[in-house]
Amino acid sequence: MTRPIHVLTIMGTRPEVIKLAPVVGALQDAPWAVSRLVVTGQHRELASTMLETFGLRPDHDLDMMRPNQDQGKLLARMLTRLVPLLRSGSPDLVLAQGDTTTVLASALASYHAGIPFGHVEAGLRSHDLSQPFPEEMNRTLAGRLAALHFAPTPRAVSNLLAEGVTAETIHLTGNPVVDMLRRMVEQSSNCPAPVPGMDGPLLDDVIAGRKTLLLATMHRGENLHGGISQVTAALLELTSKVPSCVVVWPVHPNPAVRRAAARLAGIEGVRLLPPLPYPAFLRLLCLARLVLTDSGGVQEEAVVLGRPVLVLRQVTERPEVLESGLGTVVGTDPTAVVAAALSRLALPDRGVCLSGPTPFGEGIAGRRIADIIRSWWSARCRRSS
């Protein structure tokens, strides 16, 4: 009988909480695992709301959030805290998800502490280290340090193999965002979540089809210096060209994003909202006739739910979004954004899809990752006995 495996999961941002919650839940339910949780606080407000939504209680909170924080200094502070934490706690495996500074710090700290690192959502590549910045470099470096690669798609598996990663360490799991999406949407089907900042009559008009909802989100670093301002101009033009449309934009708390979005404040047909609870955001996503975003996670969420999406970037590390027929890379040029939006809005709406396979899996990634960890641990214990 092998002893339980001690797994330490590290998360710091809203998307990481969303995507790791199914994995943490599967580990917490497993009698063969001891699961602990560390929160870095990279995005304090956004991540804390998600932790409460999913009932997750961190064992350690590093409280790393600082106003206008420099990514290099943030990485250094995280390493200073994480390395001694891992050495003193001695987990058998460290897990992190995605491509943030928290992920890179987790991978580096695990390496320095001599602890195997498992990378959830491994293998995504844009093949351009400047887009997205610094995320492409973060996930590439994390991949070089990982002992276990949990790849969400066959394309991600191929990327890792092309980089020389040992095939036995790569596991096709699907993306746990599908697990979470389906669970949350099904839970809210009988009791739709309220949407803070959306008054009753406006939401009723959207539901009844009298208003056409365009859901926008932006926060990528490469868009902070001009890209977001270009998109605000495009959104303004869309409100005049499509009189029935209402643009709803939950604005990221980044000061640069807030300043750019402020030019749309008070414009008829535009509703600027604070960051939304996840159930409220998913309700808007299901109601949206079109999604405009530079977020990788929102690209996935839109496609899983069958919502058409314009990618406000020059490249995406999720080509499955484009191959689904629902996604189009348009960049941030106002003329291109408006033309692509009008073209999409002219097509029939296929409606929300809540079942069946998706480009990102079937919705069992959390349990599948836990099962792989169990097999890996059993084999490791056999070799050491």
Whether residue 213 is found in the same domain as residue 76: no
Specify if 182 maps to a domain: no
Specify if 187 maps to a domain: no
Specify if 205 maps to a domain: yes
pLDDT given for residue 1 in this prediction? 47
Whether residue 335 is found in the same domain as residue 367: no
In sequence order, the 6+-apart residues with CB closer than 8 A to the CB of 112 are 79, 83
Cβ density class 238-262: b for 16+ within 10 Å, e for less: bbeebeebbbbbbbbebebbeebbe
Whether residue 10 is found in the same domain as residue 155: yes
In three-state secondary structure terms, 176 is helix
Q: In whole angstroms, what is the distance from residue 329 CA to residue 153 CA?
A: 19
Specify if 155 maps to a domain: yes
Contact 260, 236 (CB under 8 A): no
Specify if 283 maps to a domain: yes
Q: Which two tokens stand for residue 212?
A: 């056409």
pLDDT given for residue 194 in this prediction? 87
Whether residue 128 is found in the same domain as residue 227: no
Whether residue 209 is found in the same domain as residue 306: yes
Whether residue 120 is found in the same domain as residue 207: no
pLDDT given for residue 310 in this prediction? 98
Q: How many CA atoms lie within 13 A of 20 on its CB side?
A: 31
Whether residue 170 is found in the same domain as residue 225: no
Per-residue pLDDT of the chain in tens (385 residues, 90 and over written 9): 479 999 999 999 999 999 999 999 999 999 999 999 999 987 666 667 778 888 899 999 998 877 777 888 899 999 999 999 999 999 999 999 999 999 999 999 999 999 999 999 999 999 999 889 899 999 999 999 999 999 999 999 999 999 999 999 999 999 999 999 999 988 877 778 889 888 789 999 999 989 999 999 998 878 778 889 999 999 999 999 999 999 999 998 888 888 989 999 989 899 999 999 999 999 999 999 999 999 999 999 999 999 999 999 999 999 999 999 999 999 999 999 999 999 999 999 988 877 778 999 999 999 999 999 999 999 999 888 7
Whether residue 122 is found in the same domain as residue 98: yes
- CATH code of 255's domain: 3.40.50.2000
Whether residue 43 is found in the same domain as residue 111: yes
Contact 214, 245 (CB under 8 A): yes
Specify if 351 maps to a domain: no
Q: How many domains does the chain have?
A: 2
Specify if 185 maps to a domain: no
Strands 270-273 and 327-329: unpaired
Whether residue 25 is found in the same domain as residue 168: yes
Whether residue 165 is found in the same domain as residue 247: no
Structural domain that includes position 209 = 196-345
pLDDT given for residue 46 in this prediction? 62
Whether residue 243 is found in the same domain as residue 296: yes
Q: In whole angstroms, what is the distance from residue 221 CA to residue 353 CA?
A: 31
Contact 231, 331 (CB under 8 A): no
